[in-house]
Structure 1
Amino acid sequence: MKNIAILCSGGDVSGMNPALKHFVEYSIQKGLTPYFVYNGYEGLIDDDMKEASYSDVSGIINRGGTKIGSARSQRFREKKYRDIAKQNLDARGIDMLVAMGGDGSFKALDIFYKESGVRFCGIPATIDNDINGTDYSLGVDTALNIIKVSIDAIRDTASSFRRAFVIETMGRDCGYLALISHLTSGSELCLIPEVDYDLKKYEQEFKKQIKNGRRYFIAIVSEGIKQDSSEISEWFESVIGMESRVSILGHIQRGGNPSTYDRLMAYKLVNKAIDGLLDGNQMSVICYTKSGFEFKTIEEVTSKKKELDPELLSYLERF
C-alpha cells in the first residue's frame, strides 16, 4: 500500500476543507493510505503528521479555513531543514505529496523534489487568483461571493446617507477580485494595479451625475494600487464634493462557508492531483483553463506574473 500526504501552505482559503475531505475519501478508494501534514512545511520539519481517516474529515465540508492549519515556513528555505523533512517522510513511507497553496509554495516543493525525489502535485489555492497558468484558484469563488454580499450591504447605507464608499479588496498586486466585483456589482469606479488611472478624468462626469440626482458612489479598489484608499476617499470629499467613507474588507474575504463551486472544484482538483501522481507525474501543478484541466510545470506557473483576461480588462476600459 502506498502512502500519500496533503498539506496547506501560505494563506488559507475556503475550499481547503472540502479538498481535505475528498483527499481522504479518494485516497482510500484508490488503495492509498492518506496522511495529513499539519501547519504546512513546518509540519514536515517538526514531524507533525498523522494518518487520516474518515472520522478526521467528518463535518468539515461546510467550514472555511483548513482543519490541518497552514503556515509560511522560513526554515524550509534551508537545506538542512528540508533534509529533516525528507527523513520524516521516509519514516512513514510517504513519497507523494499534494500541496494546496500559491506559486511560492510550488517553488519550494520544486527544490524539494530535485533534492529528495518526493513527487508532488500542486493545487492552486489563493483568493488573489494570481497564479500564472490557471484561470481559477481554489477559494476565489467564495471570496467573490463574500465581497458581493459586503458591497450590497454597504450600498444600502451609502444611498441612505448620500455618501461615497471606497471598498478595498485583497489581491496584492493582482486586481482580479476588484475587477470581477466591479463588473458584477454595478459600482461607479474601479481602480486596479494593472491599469493606470487619472482621477481627474472622472471629475466632470461624477459632478454631472450628482447634479442629475445621484445620491451615492461605490468605488472598488484593489489593495495594490498606487494610492491608499483613504486618499481616494479624500478625493471624493474635496474634489467631487460628497461625504466619503472607507471600508477595508480585509481577511473577511478569506473565510466563510465554501461556495458550491469551490466545493465542486476542490473535488475535481483533488481527483486530478491524485490520478496524476498515480499515473507517474513527478512534479506538476493541476491548473484549470478554458481548455479544461491541465498539468503544468513549475516553470510555467512561476516564470512570470499572471495577466488578467484581456476581455475583462476591455470591459473596464470601455466603462
Structure 2
Amino acid sequence: MKQNIAIICSGGDVSGMNPALKRFVEYSFEQNLTPYFVYDGYEGLIDNNIKKADYCDVAGIINRGGTKTGSARSKRFMQKEYRTIAKQNLDNLHVTMLIVLGGDGSFKGLHEFYKEHKIKFCGIPSTIDNDISGTDYCLGVDTALNMIKFSIDSIRDTASSFKRAFVIETMGNKCGYLALVSHLTSGSELCLIPEIPYNLNDYEEKFKREIKNGRRYFIAVVAEGIKQDSAEIAKWFEEKIGIESRVNILGHLQRGGNPTVKDRLMAYKFITYAIDGLMKNKNESIICYMESGFEYKEIDAVVNTPYQLNHELIKYISS
C-alpha cells in the first residue's frame, strides 16, 4: 500500500519554494509515495485545505518566485486544540509523513506538533534571513542576495551621477547576514548590522577625508534591525559628512524574483534528502547544509540553539 506524504510552505515565502514543490511531486512518485499539498501553511492544515498533487500542479513553476501553495503565519497553530484538528485532518487522508519549508517559528510549531502527535516530519530551512541554527544555508538566500546585488548596482549608478550617499536597508531584524554579505560583495563603504555595536563618529574623519580626495558617493548597507532608523543614518551623512543622501528600503523585493540556479539546485537536493530521510525513519529531523555537506539534525538541537552569524564574515567587516 502506498504511503501518503504532504508538504507545507510556512512563514515568509522565499524563491526556491516552487522548485522544491516540483521536486517533491516528482520524487514522491519515484519513491512510490502519494504526494499532497497543504495550502496556506499551517492555516491550511487546520482548515483541511489539503489536496492530492500531480505533475500538472507543478508544470511550469520552477522559474517562479514565491510558492504556488501559498504560505501563512498561523497564530492558531500555536494553540494545542488547533494542532489536534490538524492531526485529525492528516489522519483522515492517511498522511503519515510531513515536509515543512520554513524558518525558526515554523520549526518551533512543528516541534510541538511532533511531541503531541508523533507524525514523522522533515524540516527544510527556508528563510532569506539565513538565521537557522545548525545550517550554513537556507533555501531562498541566494536569490535574495542576487536581488539585493542588482538593486545596489543600480543605485550606485545614480549615486555616482548625483554625488550622493545612499542608505540601502535590507531585511534582517535580528540577523545581519543579508546586509553583511551584500556589503562584502558590492564594495559598499559602510555596513551596519545588529550583531556588531557601532558608533557613526568612528567613520566621520575617514569619510570626510575620502570626499576631500575625490570620492563622489557613498553606499551604506544596513540591516533593518540596527539601533537607528535608516533615515537617521542618511541625516548623519548630510549633517556630519556633508553629502546629500537618500534612503532606499528594499523591503519585500528581496523575497521575490526568479529563483537562481543555486536555489533551484538546493531545492532539488533538500527535497531529495528530506524524502530519503523519512523513508529511512529519520522521524524528527531538520535537513542542514554545512561545508561538509548535508546533515540530518534533530529538531531539538536546531530550535533550542540560538543562531550566531559566521565569525569569519564578522571578522571581514571588523578588520
- Normalised by the size of structure 1, how large is the TM-score? 0.99
What is the CA distance between 1:281 and its match in structure 2?
A: 1.0
Q: Which amino acid aligns with 2:53?
A: A
- Corresponding position: 1:185 with 2:204: no
Residue of structure 1 in register with 2:171 after alignment? 170
CA distance in 2, matches of 1:3, 1:268: 21
1:279-315 CA distance string (max 9 Å, x none): 0011110000111101111121111321111111111
Where in structure 2 are the equivalents of 1:25-104 lying within 5 Å? 25-104=26-105
1:9-61 CA distance string (max 9 Å, x none): 10000000000000000000000000000001111111101100000000000
Residue of structure 1 in register with 2:121 after alignment? 120
Q: Which amino acid aligns with 1:133?
A: G
SS at match of 1:73: coil
1:100-147 CA distance string (max 9 Å, x none): 001111111111112112110000000000011000000000000000
1:157-182 CA distance string (max 9 Å, x none): 00000000000000111000000000
CA distance in 1, matches of 2:183, 2:149: 9
Q: Which amino acid aligns with 2:193?
A: I
CA distance in 2, matches of 1:64, 1:308: 26
- Corresponding position: 1:295 with 2:296: yes
CA distance in 2, matches of 1:147, 1:54: 33
SS at match of 2:36: strand
Residue of structure 1 in register with 2:261 after alignment? 260
CA distance in 1, matches of 2:161, 2:44: 50
88-97 vs 292-301, which moves further: 292-301
CA distance in 2, matches of 1:191, 1:81: 41
Q: Which amino acid aligns with 1:236?
A: F
CA distance in 1, matches of 2:253, 2:239: 30
SS at match of 2:134: coil
SS at match of 2:158: helix
1:50-85 CA distance string (max 9 Å, x none): 100000000000000000000011111111111111
CA distance in 2, matches of 1:57, 1:81: 29
Residue of structure 2 in register with 1:284 after alignment? 285
1:175-217 CA distance string (max 9 Å, x none): 0000000000000000000001111111111000000000000
Residue of structure 1 in register with 2:107 after alignment? 106
What is the CA distance between 1:268 and its match in structure 2?
A: 0.1
22-31 vs 289-298, which moves further: 289-298
Structure 1: segments with no counterpart, 5+ residues: none
Residue of structure 1 in register with 2:241 after alignment? 240
CA distance in 1, matches of 2:175, 2:105: 15
SS at match of 1:174: coil
Percent identical pairs in the alignment equals 69
What is the CA distance between 1:255 and its match in structure 2?
A: 0.1
CA distance in 1, matches of 2:301, 2:224: 26
CA distance in 1, matches of 2:263, 2:222: 24
Q: Which amino acid aligns with 2:38?
A: V
Residue of structure 1 in register with 2:250 after alignment? 249
CA distance in 1, matches of 2:91, 2:308: 39
1:229-282 CA distance string (max 9 Å, x none): 000000000000000000000000000000000000000000000000000011
SS at match of 1:18: helix
- Normalised by the size of structure 2, how large is the TM-score? 0.99
Residue of structure 2 in register with 1:154 after alignment? 155
Residue of structure 2 in register with 1:230 after alignment? 231
